[in-house]
Structure 1
Amino acid sequence: MKKFEEKTIHTEKIFEGKIIDLQVDDVLLPNGEKSKREIVKHPGAVAVIPITEDGKIVLVEQYRKPLEKTLVEIPAGKLNNNEQPLAAAIRELEEETGYTTKELSFVTSFYTSPGFADELVYLYVTDTLEKLDTPPAGDDDEFIEIIELTLDEAKQYVEEEKIHDAKTNYAILYLHSLWR
């Protein structure tokens, strides 16, 4: 047994949805005791840091129902069945921003909420954007507005909590600290 490993004794599927599934696992703890874990299963997601020729970050503003407010975020979306992260990143970039690119660089991947979910986000960056003449249609239930900000403006949005999600905060930190 690995250090701290929790062995699953039983899994009960609670809900199967369009975006997530929910299960409750009975587990055996490292000390021999039993416990329960509520787990959100997610197919994974991608996010893109798109940078225009003049150095602006292309972001999307959208309403987030769980928060009951609007946030400004980097373009992102979930992986479809058997979809490769790179292909999904280009798809999301095109659908959400109307831009495409031939050069998408992998930055990192990270778990969003490992205490209760297995969602893994693959983060990419590009500064070779091309505007599409006819962008593909986005999701029918997704209403977004495109915003282009300088890095300093984006940092101000972070301070004002207009940018207030982990992936976009990570993107701003990455651009501030590590980008070129």
Structure 2
Amino acid sequence: MMNFEEKTIRSKKIYNGRIINLQLDEVTLPNGKTSTREIIKHPGAVAIIAVTENNKIIFVKQYRKALEKELVEIPAGKLEEGESPEVTAIRELEEETGFTTDVLKYVTSFYTSPGFADEIIYLYETTNLKKLGEKKALDEDEFVELMELSITEAEKLMESEHIHDAKTAFAIQYIKSKGMK
């Protein structure tokens, strides 16, 4: 059985940013040859499937500069240093939606782009939403519009590519597989 591991010979940091870091790794390939790998290091993120008491899913609409367009997504955000995914999930839910919960169910985690990045997203679900008395502040560079959609409405937005990111598409399919309509 072949060992596919690539051994790092050296690693050079190219860029350290607020959200990501970029490094260039020189590696030894399984066949003994060398190559380079451009790798994005990311602290990880969470995403929350928030279902209201009338079986609507809470989404946020926001502009994504990398794509130069608005997307409709489930609430999500980056892990802060030393913060557990559960704490991040509650914080992001409160900041982006004005709701909180005391019942958070872990669904799964997945890598977003394992060919060049180590970002992992932890996905949670809650059906026990409570409106906050006062909405928490968003990050100063974050602007979102709250939306509550049925599965059917969300699927229509997938067809029109307004919902066009993997975490949200996965969340919709997950909820649909549980029998939600």
Scaled by the length of structure 1, the TM-score of the pair is 0.98
Q: 1:131-171 CA deviation, whole Å, 9 max, x = no partner?
A: 00112111000010000000111111111111000000000
Aligned amino acid, residue 119 of structure 2: E
Q: Distance in 1 between matches of 2:12 and 2:119?
A: 19
- Partner residue, 1:106: 106
Matches within 5 A, 1:70-109: 70-109=70-109
Q: Distance in 1 between matches of 2:179 and 2:131?
A: 23
- Partner residue, 2:173: 173
Q: Distance in 2 between matches of 1:146 and 1:139?
A: 15
Q: Runs of 4 or more off by more than 3 Å in structure 1? A: none
| Residue 84 (structure 1) shift | 0.1
1:22 match: secondary structure: strand
1:168 match: secondary structure: helix
Q: Distance in 2 between matches of 1:178 and 1:16?
A: 41
Q: 1:42-79 CA deviation, whole Å, 9 max, x = no partner?
A: 00000000000000000000000000000000000000
2:30 match: secondary structure: coil
Aligned amino acid, residue 116 of structure 1: F
- Partner residue, 2:135: 135
- Partner residue, 2:148: 148
Q: Distance in 2 between matches of 1:85 and 1:178?
A: 23
Q: Distance in 2 between matches of 1:151 and 1:132?
A: 25
| Residue 178 (structure 1) shift | 3.0
Q: 1:87-110 CA deviation, whole Å, 9 max, x = no partner?
A: 000000000000000001000000
Matches within 5 A, 1:61-76: 61-76=61-76
Aligned residues: 179
Aligned amino acid, residue 30 of structure 1: P
Q: Distance in 2 between matches of 1:172 and 1:12?
A: 39
- Partner residue, 1:44: 44
Q: Distance in 1 between matches of 2:104 and 2:154?
A: 21
Scaled by the length of structure 2, the TM-score of the pair is 0.97
Structure 2: gaps of 5 or more residues: none
